[in-house]
Amino acid sequence: MTDPHDELTPAERRAFEALSREADAPRGLEDRTVALLQARGVLAVPFRPVRAAPRYWQPAWLVGAIAASLALFATGFAFGQYLGARTATIAAAVGLGGSIAERTQHVERTGSDYVAALAALSQSRDTNDVAGRQQATQTALSALGAAAQEVARLAPEDPLAAAVLRGLTERRRQMQPPAAQRAVVWY
């Protein structure tokens, strides 16, 4: 009961021809399709570089870091020891070059060290070592004389420095052996 000669009317044909031939596919369909194809191995998966472990977690780097830390600690420790062992004279020499106030502070600090060293020497209980005590006294007086000379250079009119130098000269003259036996002049 069909009509083999059924034809569209011009209006119907126009209506069919007016229908769109293309339509935009929904967003995301392309990416989903690509992902499926990648999962199936049809399309290659884009290369994503594997993120390497941070360098500081690598054993060689860790050992190196520990060694460097130990070396740094040892260097600092040795330098501290070195500074602590320096004599007041070397420290004074190192301190040269500052202002008057800085040099005065340095004299004060090293003078205190000098007095403290003398105090330690005088409190020695080894009274039987006569020669040692004489040597210690000579050494202390030598330092005192050198200091007095510097003070005299700093303040030529200062009576105390002059008196110290006169006293030391007198003492040296008294203790001076006969001319044939003189051997060493300290200062």
Partner 1 sequence: MPPWPARVAGLTGNLPARRGNQVDGYGSPSAPRGPIRVTPEVTAPAVAVPERALAERVLAGDELAFRQLYRRHTPRLFQLVLRLVGGREADAEDVVQETWLKATERLGSFRWESAFGTWLCAIGLNVAREQARRRSRRPEVDWPEDHDPPQAAPLDRVEPLDLERAVAALPAGYRTVLVLHDVEGYTHEEIGVALGIAPGTSKSQLFWARQAVRAALGSRQKGSPA
Chain residues 27-56 in contact with partner 1, contact rule CB under 8 A: 27-34, 36-38, 40, 42-44, 46
Does 163 contact partner 1 by CB under 8 A? no
Q: What token pair was written down for 124? A: 């020695």
Q: ∠ at Cα 144 (141, 150), nearest 5°?
A: 145
**Cβ partners under 8 Å of residue 56, min gap 6:** 62, 65
Longest CA pairwise span in the chain (Å): 162
Q: How far is the CB of 9 from partner 1 (least distance, A)?
A: 4
Q: How far is the CB of 18 from partner 1 (least distance, A)?
A: 5
Q: How far is the CB of 40 from partner 1 (least distance, A)?
A: 7
Q: How far is the CB of 47 from partner 1 (least distance, A)?
A: 11
Per DSSP, the residues of 66-132 read: HHHHHHHHHHHHHHHHHHHH--HHHHHHHHTTS-HHHHHHHHHHHHHHHHHHHHHHHT---TT-HHH
Q: How far is the CB of 35 from partner 1 (least distance, A)?
A: 10
Does 150 contact partner 1 by CB under 8 A? no
Chain residues 77-136 in contact with partner 1, contact rule CB under 8 A: none
For partner 1, the closer CB: 32 or 166: 32
For partner 1, the closer CB: 28 or 156: 28
Pick left, alpha or beta for residue 97 (phi over 0 → left; psi -120 to 50 → alpha; otherwise beta): left
Does 2 contact partner 1 by CB under 8 A? yes
In whole angstroms, what is the distance from residue 89 CA to residue 91 CA?
A: 5
Which residues would be at the binding site for partner 1 (CB under 8 A)? 1-4, 6, 8-9, 11-12, 14-16, 18-34, 36-38, 40, 42-44, 46
